[in-house]
Structure 1
Amino acid sequence: MDKEKSPSEKFVLEFKEDAALTEMMRLRVSSLQKSGQKRQDGERLLLPYEVVSRLDFPVQELNFSHWYFSLSGHGRVTITGISQHWTPDLTHLMTRQLLEPIGTFWRNADDPEDLPLKCLEADMQEFGERIAELAKVRKVMYFLLAFKEGAEAANLSCSIEFLPEK
């Protein structure tokens, strides 16, 4: 007899900005600019409209269920996963560490506020499944969130729902 999943069995994890890592990556960009040096081959520098966020996984055996995102106003937000557990104070972020696909959602300037956000559903599904796979081998995962076309971090709420593996 199948037991219906109770709400308590769901894990809804919110993307939380990691201000310390974001600042450290901004300092790297600033340091390179001041010294006139170039980035290392393959190094991925933080762009002015990006922040570093993280997900902390309470358990490792998860299945992706659903994305929740809301954005006041208009704009485009992209979420890029980072495949390796890195720390900018010890190692630089390399482009090869960025996951495909990326998650993208947006609202056009002429769309009414009550219109649901648009997204690339197949990519968002695959991205959520990829995050669940990586959760099996780590307790925290980092992401680059990019805010474009008028989107701002203060206007974003983004979380992801997982169900435990049975």
Structure 2
Amino acid sequence: MAADASELKLPLVQDVQLTNCMRLRVQSLQQKNERPQDGEKLLRPNEYIYRVDFVRQHNLRFLRWDIQLEKEGKVTVTGTSQHWTPDLTNLMSRQLLEPAGIFWKKPEASEVECNEADALEFGERLNELAKIRKVMYFLLSFTEGLEPAHIECSIVFKA
């Protein structure tokens, strides 16, 4: 399906630097035998931080998620309300938005499936966030053998 000229496709791009910083936080706590702050969300090995840069912020209407998975497995896309600062404010669990988008591909399937209602509600929330954000961060959790190399993920808006 050809993209309509009024469609704006915004890719989720892996933020390697931020992911690595958050992994260092986990290592630091382990090395010092310290506990995380109350409510702090520590990055697990199967979790990565992605970002979307909103090149336009107004008059956007969510159309769809465009998720391509090279192989079977599942990815959970969770938006965050976090504004990261250069000193890396720790991600708190309360900053994870509901609902998450869960996308999966079954063995031998050509299409990616999802929980349509949650994916739609999540996408519609992005309309509002795009009005006030130039950048939005996402936590992607990979399971069943998937990893960042196996995914292409974008959000498509009508501009």
1:1-166 equivalences under 5 Å are 7-61=4-58, 62-87=60-85, 89-108=87-106, 111-114=107-110, 116-164=111-159
- Give the % identical residues: 53
Is contact 1:24–1:88 with CA below 8 Å preserved after alignment?
Answer: no
* Structure 2 match to 1:3: none
**In structure 1, distance between residues paired with 2:123 and 2:9:** 12
TM score, norm. by length of structure 1: 0.90
**Post-superposition offset of 1:37:** 0.4
State which structure, 1 or 2, has the greater radius of gyration over its C-alpha atoms: 1
Is contact 1:73–1:113 with CA below 8 Å preserved after alignment?
Answer: no
**Post-superposition offset of 1:9:** 2.1
Question: What CA RMSD, in Å, does the superposition of the two structures yield over aligned residues?
Answer: 1.4
What do the CA deviations read for 1:87-143 (whole angstroms, capped 9, x no partner)? 3734110001000000001123xx3142x1121000000111111110110100000
Partner AA of 1:70 in structure 2: Q
Query: Which 4+ stretches in 1 moved above 6 angstroms?
Result: none
**Post-superposition offset of 1:70:** 1.0
**Post-superposition offset of 1:8:** 2.5
Is contact 2:82–2:91 with CA below 8 Å preserved after alignment?
Answer: no
Secondary structure of 1:7's match? coil
What do the CA deviations read for 1:31-80 (whole angstroms, capped 9, x no partner)? 00000000000100111001100000011111101111111111110000
Secondary structure of 1:89's match? coil
Consecutive unaligned residues in structure 2, runs of 5 or more = none
Consecutive unaligned residues in structure 1, runs of 5 or more = 1-5
